[in-house]
Amino acid sequence: MQDETCQCDYCKLSRRVHDAIDSRDPDKLIEILTEVMNHLCDVEFDRDYDHCILDGSWPSAVEQLEEALKNAKKKRDSIVV
Ligand SMILES: [Zn+2]
């Protein structure tokens, strides 16, 4: 029988959060809350960085956007419809 439980990072973390909540164990709750807060910090940093690239305020934004556009066009052109 195939395991149909989603293995994406969000679902795996979500299951661990719910397990910690269900456990009512303060140490487990503190541990998972700390992990979630660290993850949130990483996600927010990545979002802010990507925003700076897209709005052109990051020093290498133009070069990164040009490279990304070149790669996007290659992908688009390789798609067979
Ligand atoms: Zn998932």
* Domains of the chain, residue spans: 9-78
CA of 11 to the centre of ligand 1 (A): 4
CA of 68 to the centre of ligand 1 (A): 27
CA of 17 to the centre of ligand 1 (A): 14
Confidence of residue 1 (pLDDT cuts 50, 70, 90): low
**Cβ atoms 32, 24 nearer than 8 A:** no
**Cβ atoms 17, 36 nearer than 8 A:** yes
Amino acid in position 75: K
**Cβ atoms 36, 13 nearer than 8 A:** yes
Residue range 9-61, pLDDT digits in tens: 999 999 999 999 999 999 999 999 999 999 999 999 999 999 999 999 999 99
**Cβ atoms 29, 20 nearer than 8 A:** yes
On average, the pLDDT of the chain sits at 95
CA of 60 to the centre of ligand 1 (A): 33
User: For position 80, what pLDDT does the model report?
Assistant: 77
CA of 29 to the centre of ligand 1 (A): 21
